[in-house]
Structure 1
Amino acid sequence: MVLDPLWLLLALPVAFALGWLGSRLEMREWVREQRDAPKAYFKGLNLLLNEQQDKAIDAFIEAVQDDPHSADLHFALGNLFRRRGEFERAVRVHQHLLQRGDLPGAERERAQHALAQDFMKAGLFDRAEEAFRALEGTPFDTEARLALLTLHERSRDWRAAAEVAARLEKSGIGSFATRISHYWCELAQEADARGDADAAEAALQRAREAAPNAPRPWLQEGERQLRAGRTAQALQSWDALRVRHPAVFSLVAPAYAQAASSLGQAAPAREQIQALYDQQPDTDLLGALRRLDDPATAAQRLQAHLRQQPALSVAAQVLELPPAEWAEDIRTRVQASVARAAQPLQRYRCAACGFEARNYFWQCPGCQSWDTYPPRRIEDL
């Protein structure tokens, strides 16, 4: 069959017209999608800024349906789910992103990081740890290690926390020496609890090596020595603590005084503690000095401290003394201490938000709720 050339001439314009019409229709559809998706996206963003999260989620879902291949829209929706506490939905969104074969490497790492955050917020720490470990060697490496450090601290996996902190310090983002020292001190406590004295001593040695100036290893070593009956060695450890960290020494001052008395070293111990007390009086040092003083001196010391600092605990100890031993002004000092301590209890507290105020309010200044203040002060509740 021979085709008439006339038909070919007629077919060419028709084919061209159909192709042009198809391209126009496709372009219009593409333009409409590009116009509608950002419109829904910005609508969701505006609702989010106005704290209308429910409507914002609906807008973002609409935007994702209009443009299912947009990774940014998926990230926005997943992060919004996480902020609202809808962790299961956030996980599904980010897992969907990771399953896409066309997702670029940078976006895949971003989705992995978002998924790890979902697991972290949901309390799925095992899955969060696995997800964060998958980010090693990526631009999210540092953030992932910091998150792992938090996870190990929460689970009290101190050895793993020490390893992660050491790697973070090597990366140059900051010093983690003090935290590493704390981790080894925690391991020492665990070893002592199970009766492994050698492991406890080794852990404390690692703690001192990690942070030579940290106070906790010296304090903890003295406590270990005292429990083991090695009182002289305990005093040596606490003397090192007193020289390096006199403020922290207050935590063990009463035990130091008692240990020194048992060894017949009350006089030098009193001299050392008195020097610290003169620099910065506090109730722990006062209690240590009372253990080393005779009763008359201890009574005078209590009253002298009360004149300097109207502490309620000291006032309570003064009340235990016979009234005949009170100085003339001590009654007034005790009353001032009790009044000072009672001031916070003379407030009213909102039952809705906990806002405290000296005056009674019908409308809470904190949460703006009405009739949420019980008509009784805190000390009466």
Structure 2
Amino acid sequence: MEFDISWILMGFPAAFVLGWLASRFDLRQLRRENRSAPKAYFKGLNFLLNEQQDKAIDAFIEAVQNDPDTAELHFALGNLFRRRGEYSRAVRVHEHLLSRADISKPERERAQHALALDFMKAGLLDRAEDALARLEHTPYENEARLSRLAIYERAHDWPQAVQIARLMHSHNQGDYSVRIAHYLCEQALGQQAQGQLDAAKDLLQQAQSEAPHAPRPRIELAHLQHKSGDPVQALGSLMALASVSPSSVPLVAPLMLELVKTDKRKPQVRALLVANYHSSPSLDVMQSLVQLDEFARVENADGPVGRDWYVEHLRHEPSLVAAGRWLAQETLSHEEHHPAVQRALDNAAKPLTRYRCAACGFEARQHFWQCPGCQSWDSYPPRRVEEQ
């Protein structure tokens, strides 16, 4: 049989035409898909800018369906779910990203961080802790450690908080010595509640070594010594505190007054309180001086004595609290109106005797080392609202 080459020559044009038609079909389909994906994506952005999150989510879901391999669309969708409080849907999006084998290492680390944030927002602290621990040795390491520290504080897991704070301190992520001292003090309070006074004392001494200039370890140690029946040591701790942290004396002035009642160091304590008051006038120090002068029967001292401290304070500070306390024991004309006037003054002065957080403004009757409102440490000044 003779081979006819004319069939091959006729086949070349036919193959060319078929190839051209196929390429045109593929190009049209690709253009159509590329037009639909950006259209849905930009539609979602427009809804997001107009704060229409429901419509933005629908648009991003459409964009993901058109282009399921785009990681950025998944991140945008997951972040939207988290912002709306739909944490389970956000978790599913980010877990889907982590399950993919085709994403790069930076995208995988980013998805792991986003998943940890989902768990944090949802209050699933155990799962959040595990997800954050996997971010060690990644660009999100520092942020992950801070989040873990927040989890341990929230859970009152003070030993773990000490461990992670020391890790951050050793890696030059900030000075966490005072924070570590707070954690050790919290552990000590837990030991005291269980009657383990020796263990509590060891923790407080560790805290004092960790942050020598922090006032709390010395204050807590003085309270523990007083509770253990050692007022001499307790007063010594507070007098040492006055030289390390003079601004903290108003917090311990009432305790110093209680301890000095059975101690021979009344003149030294009074001199310390007077010097502290003259350096920085305080309502608590002033009140302690009034009471100390009354029960110690101090007379003919240099400067004010007893209730004269109220008048001395009013000369420098327009204090409604001091005025009310001075008026409480004064004999005035129209004495029958005195109780009503006194009640009015006391009610007006009561809000002024609170402590106020410098970070969030939360007010409380007692001083806190950690704000109950914003969870900030050392945000409460040792002075009352009226003095700020």
Regarding TM over 0.5, the answer is yes
Number of the residue aligned with 1:211: 211
Within 5 Å, give how 1:175-214 maps onto structure 2: 175-214=175-214
Distance, in Å, in 1 between the alignment partners of 2:111 and 2:4 is: 61
CA 1:143–1:246 in 2, change beyond 3 Å: closer, same or farther? same
Stretch moving more, 123-132 or 295-304: 295-304
Cα deviation per residue 1:91-138 (whole Å; 9 max; x = unaligned)?
111111111121222111110100000000111111100110111111
Distance 1:343 1:239 in 2: 30
Alpha-carbon shift at residue 75 of structure 1 (Å): 0.2
1:300 counterpart (295, 308, 312): 308
Asked if structure 1 preserves the Cα contact closer than 8 Å seen for 2:145 and 2:164, the reply is: yes
Query: Quick check: 1:149–1:161 contact (8 Å CA) kept in 2?
Result: yes
Is 1:49 aligned to residue 49 of structure 2?
yes
**CA separation of 1:169/1:28 partners in 2, compared to 1, >3 Å: closer, same or farther?**
farther
CA displacement, residues 58-87 of structure 1 (integer Å, 9 cap, x when unaligned):
221121111111000000111111111111
Partner of 2:244: 244
Query: Secondary structure at 1:82's aligned position in 2?
Result: helix
* Contact 1:162/1:183 (<8 A) preserved: yes
User: What corresponds to 1:267 in structure 2?
Assistant: 267
1:293 is paired with a residue whose SS is helix
What TM-score does the superposition give when structure 1 sets the normalisation length? 0.82
Determine the C-alpha separation between the residues in 2 that align with 1:102 and 1:70.
11
Verify the 8 A CA contact 2:324 2:345 in the aligned structure 1. Answer: no
Report Cα offsets for 1:143-201 as digits up to 9, x if no partner. Answer: 11111011111111111111111111222222111111111111111111111122212
Superposed displacement of residue 27, structure 1:
2.5
The aligned counterpart of 2:383 is none
- Map 1:41-80 onto structure 2 (within 5 A): 41-80=41-80
- What RMSD in Å do the two structures reach over aligned CA positions? 2.8
Q: Would the aligned equivalents of 1:254 and 1:291 in 2 still touch at CA under 8 Å?
A: no
Report the counterpart of residue 362 of structure 2 in structure 1.
none
Partner AA of 2:262 in structure 1: S
Deviation at 1:343, TM superposition (A): 11
Q: CA–CA distance in 1 between the matches of 2:270 and 2:35?
A: 82
Q: Please say if residues 185 and 217 of structure 2, whose CA atoms lie closer than 8 Å, have aligned partners that are also in contact.
A: yes
Equivalent AA in structure 2 for residue 301 of structure 1: W
Partner of 1:371: none
Residues 4-31 of structure 1: CA distance to partner in whole angstroms, max 9, x if unpaired? 4333332332223222322222222223
Aligned to 1:281: 281
Map 1:102-251 → 2, pairs under 5 A: 102-251=102-251
Say if 2:93 is the partner of 1:93.
Answer: yes
4+ long deviations beyond 6 Å = 333-340
Q: CA deviation at 1:340?
A: 7.6
Q: For the Cα contact (< 8 Å) 1:222–1:235, is it kept in 2?
A: yes
| Partners of 1:31 and 1:176 in 2: CA distance | 56
Equivalent position amino acid for 1:59 in 2: A
The answer to whether 1:314 aligns with 2:353 is: no
Residue 329 of structure 2 aligns with an amino acid whose one-letter code is L
Query: Residues 251 and 284 of structure 1 are in contact (CA less than 8 Å); yes or no, is this contact kept in structure 2?
Result: yes
Separation in structure 1 between the aligned mates of residue 148 and residue 189 of structure 2, nearest angstrom: 22
Compared CA separation, residues 290 and 77, structure 1 to 2 (3 A) = same
Flag structure 2 segments of 5+ consecutive residues without an equivalent: 298-304, 353-388
CA distance in 2, matches of 1:286, 1:116: 51
Q: State the secondary structure of the residue aligned to 1:252.
A: helix
Contact preservation (8 Å) 2:201, 2:224: no
SS at match of 1:323: coil
- Is the Cα–Cα contact under 8 Å of residues 44 and 55 in structure 1 kept in the other structure? yes
Q: Partner residue of 2:385? A: none
Mapped to 2, the partners of 1:154 and 1:335 lie a distance apart of 41
Counterparts of 1:210 and 1:20, CA distance in 2: 78
Give the CA deviation at 1:210.
1.8
8 A Cα contact 1:310 1:336, kept in partner: no
Q: Aligned residue pairs: how many?
A: 340
- Cα deviation, 1:284-305, whole Å, max 9, x if unaligned, reads 1012112211289433222332
- C-alpha distance 165-290 of structure 1, shift in aligned 2 (>3 A): same
SS of 1:175 mapped into structure 2: coil
Q: Distance in 1 between matches of 2:170 and 2:35?
A: 49
SS of 1:56 mapped into structure 2: helix
The equivalent of 1:376 in structure 2 is: none
Whichever residue aligns with residue 313 of structure 1, its letter is V
Give unmatched runs, 5+ long, in structure 1.
Answer: 345-381
Provide the C-alpha distance between the structure 1 equivalents of 2:37 and 2:30, rounded to a whole number of angstroms.
11
Please, which moves more after superposition, 260-269 or 139-148? 260-269
CA 1:28 to 1:209, structure 2 compared with 1: closer, same or farther past 3 Å? Answer: farther
**1 CA distance for matches of 2:314 and 2:201?**
42
Do the aligned partners of 1:37 and 1:66 also contact (CA within 8 Å) in 2?
yes
Q: Deviations for 1:240-266, whole angstroms, at most 9, x for unmatched residues?
A: 110011111210111102211211322
